[in-house]
Structure 1
Amino acid sequence: MHFGLSEEQQELAGAVRTLVERRAGQVDLRSATQAERGYDEALWQTLCGQIGVAALAVPEEYGGAGFSSFETHVVLETLGHSLTPTPLLGSGVLATRAVLLAGTPDDCARLLPPLAEGTQVAALAWADTSGHWRLDGSDVRATRDGNSWRLDGVATLVHDARAADLLLVVASTDEGARLFRADLSSGVERSATPALDLTLQLDRVTFRSAPAAPVGDVLGEQLATLHAEAAVAVTALQVGGAQGALDRTVAHLKEREQFGRPLGSFQALKHRVADLLVAVETSRSISWSAAWASAQGDVDVVRRAALAKAWCSESFSTVAAEMVQLHGGIAITWEHDAHLYFKRAHATGELFGSAREHRRLLTA
């Protein structure tokens, strides 16, 4: 059995790669992270307008392209290769999937079209003050105020909250966890969280009697599914990042000379790079397997996600650490990209559960 990308999926990855490389000549990675929204808005609009990256996993009846989450996974892996910052993870995966899992058809028809077009960016506030994405709700409390709802509490590690036009919130109620759409006009304070990874924009959101409207009904297994799908999406960034780190390391070993020979000609270094290749390829296989299960609605998606997140987190950390070692002293300079891959590896290793937490899920 051949397990690989279809011709259309390969073309999708190639188109995204071409756009990113072309735009990088005008706005480099560091400039993009320092932009007002934390990413290159022109590139994001091009990715949405020409390729439709935000619409891939949205059903056609809600303004999407009607593909599956696996196509989005392919795009995330491609973006991860170059560490390109975009709101695709926060808006195109977390927020979009939250609406699809929790919302009614009317909710989806109202909220999803602008997200699919890329004209709006959404953020999902969920993690509690200790930085955990709980399956029973969050530290934000929703209470009834007559016929309306009010939100109080704090959410942390919210992706791209400062840039969000739509803020969705997983909040605790007397009946259980529910999804809400927060009114950004009052009672909502968004502040940046200094992050290890400069390419991921994380924010802290404080709610003080903020007006909100419910999206769908009480959440049950949807939160576990959403958590698993988010973890799988993060593995796409990890696999892409690991491949990018390996590619740059191999190129360096071919160019750098020591004792009159390229570094890559030394047998000991060849063995180390071969081990890194194994780490990258096994990570890609397990990540794709989990992504396929997620796209097909497999009942085993939670277990597959835990396997993939644990494996890919540790593999990416290993590859990134070896990248720093094999580049020697230049890898720890601010101008070199090696430290960015190292930081991305450790940051994504904690997003939606560390390797240790996911292994604990497997043995529970």
Structure 2
Amino acid sequence: MTDLLYSEEEEALRSAVRDLLADHCDAPGVIARTESGTPHDLAAWKALADGMGLAGLLVPEEKGGQGATHRETAVVMEELGRAVAPVPYLTSAVVATEALLACDADDLLAELASGRRIGALAVALNVPAGAAYRVVRHEGGALHGELTAIADAAVADVLLVPADDGGLYAVDADAATITPQVSLDLTRPVAKVVLDGAPGRLLGDAEPAVRRALRSAAGLLASEQLGLAEWALTETVRYLKERKQFNRPVGGFQALKHRLAQLWLEVVSLRAAARNAADALANDPLGQETAVAVAVAQAYAASVAVRAAEEALQLHAGIGMTWEHPIHLYLKRAKADAIAYGTAGAHREALAELVDLRAP
């Protein structure tokens, strides 16, 4: 039977990532970045990718990566969710990397693994695995078209673009017109990408590459949602132990204890679902059982992450409603994650198809 508990190596990785993010992604700094118009923390990204080598966790050693698995990547995702870190880790080190692993592009894969370049798959953030996605026109050796809601496109060096001829093309970001769009999640902004005769390098077939990338994205997004929910629960418990009314900590009030206990049970269940998805991806990324594990995790994760953030906002009372407190960043990330790579409803439908339990 698979052991879903964290290994000593995974806990050591967690400690190292948490220490790094404490230095680079403190709450006041992240809030200040969202107000600056340049929310991405490229210094933190460089420390993660270059200093710790985490951008290449999913890349085999012979191709320039660390040769780790989705389990270790899930630990990193948990800590990034806990810090709502404004870095393109999910989009570059997971989504773009998985797409490249399905193609013959070892040179580009090594560049992403080293952190020298940032990649972004030019598929809208809300597209679930297996669903139809928008493509651009390939004509005369160049790409033409417009794509919207591309996460982290603003800091990407290379775009992986699916075209109408069935190919996946690598396009230098400088050859595209990238325009920021209004994004609920200020720490993971989206953008419109316009290609007007942009040259592209054919990497391989788009359909299997995009399917693999989006499945891994959905599975590991559950770990990010877990980290977010754990932060919200931990910070709320800490605050309620300190806040006093009637000369006693409000955390001792029975009604609040019941709410926190229920939330704790949901977070623990989410941990099991997220770890199962990460483990399944690590063992058989394209298997049927992995598809089931990912669908189960995402069918459950969104509601728990949103509820944890909402409870944190409410139970912090007045201070939780202020811009200076980071809770609003967590709520926005939770809401945005709830539609990223497919809604909970879309994943429930996919799960029903996978296990042959369709609605009548």
Between the two proteins, the alignment pairs up a number of residues equal to 350
Q: Match for 2:199: what amino acid? A: P
Aligned-residue Cα RMSD (Å) equals: 2.0
How many Å separate the matches in 1 of 2:131 and 2:242? 53
Deviation at 1:178, TM superposition (A): 2.4
Corresponding residue number in structure 2 for 1:225: 212
- Choose the corresponding residue for 2:154, options 162, 183, 197: 162
The change in CA–CA distance for 1:60 and 1:15 in structure 2 (over 3 A counts) is same
Alignment check: 8 A CA contact 1:136 1:172 kept? no
State the 1:261 CA deviation: 0.6
Partner SS for 1:67: coil
User: What amino acid is aligned across from residue 266 of structure 1 in structure 2?
Assistant: F
Instruction: Find the residue that maps to 2:200 and give its secondary structure.
Output: strand
Amino acid at match of 1:159: A
User: Any idea what SS the aligned residue of 1:172 has?
Assistant: coil
Q: 2:280 aligns with which of 277, 285, 293?
A: 293
Determine whether 1:334 maps to 2:331: no
Moved more, 229-238 or 119-128: 119-128
Q: Percent identity?
A: 37
Name the residue aligned to 2:138. Answer: 143
Q: Which runs of 5+ in 2 are unaligned?
A: 354-360
Kept in 1: contact 2:31–2:326 (CA 8 A): no
3-state SS, counterpart of residue 190 of structure 1: strand
| TM-score when normalising by structure 1 | 0.90
Q: Which residue in the other structure is 1:58 paired with? A: 59
Answer whether contact 1:140 1:207 (CA < 8 A) is retained. Answer: no
2:108 to 103, 111, 130: 111
Gaps of 5+ in 1: none
Asked if the contact 1:126/1:171 (under 8 Å) is kept, the reply is no
Query: Which residue does the alignment assign to 1:254?
Result: 241
Could you tell me how far 1:136 is from its partner in structure 2?
A: 6.5
Paired amino acid for 2:315: L
1:98 maps onto 2:99 in alignment = yes
- The yes-or-no answer on 1:275 pairing with 2:275 is no
> Which segment drifts farther, 288-297 or 30-39?
30-39
SS at structure 1 position matched to 2:148: strand
Rate the CA distance shift 1:47–1:235 in 2: closer, same or farther, 3 A: same
Aligned amino acid, residue 139 of structure 1: R
Distance 2:206 2:120 in 1: 18
User: What are the superposed Cα offsets for residues 187-209 of structure 1, whole Å, 9 maximum, x if unpaired?
Assistant: x2101111111111211111122
1:121-270 correspondence to structure 2 within 5 Å:
121-127=118-124, 131-132=126-127, 135=130, 138-145=133-140, 149-173=141-165, 177-186=166-175, 188-216=176-204, 218-270=205-257
SS at match of 2:297: helix
1:151 match: secondary structure? strand
Q: Quick check: 1:27–1:40 contact (8 Å CA) kept in 2? A: no
**Residue 5 of structure 1 aligns with which residue?**
6
Once residues 117 and 185 of structure 1 are traced to their aligned partners in structure 2, the CA distance between those partners, rounded to angstroms, is 20
- Give the aligned residue type for 1:132: V
**How far 1:144 sits from its partner (Å)?**
4.1
TM-score normalised according to structure 2 size? 0.91
In structure 1, C-alpha distance between the alignment counterparts of 2:96 and 2:162, rounded to whole Å: 10
Q: Which amino acid aligns with 1:271?
A: H
Residues 123/113 of structure 1: CA separation in 2 closer, same or farther (3 Å cut): same
**Counterpart Cα distance in 2 of 1:213 and 1:136:** 24
Alpha-carbon separation, structure 2, partners of 1:336 and 1:26: 8
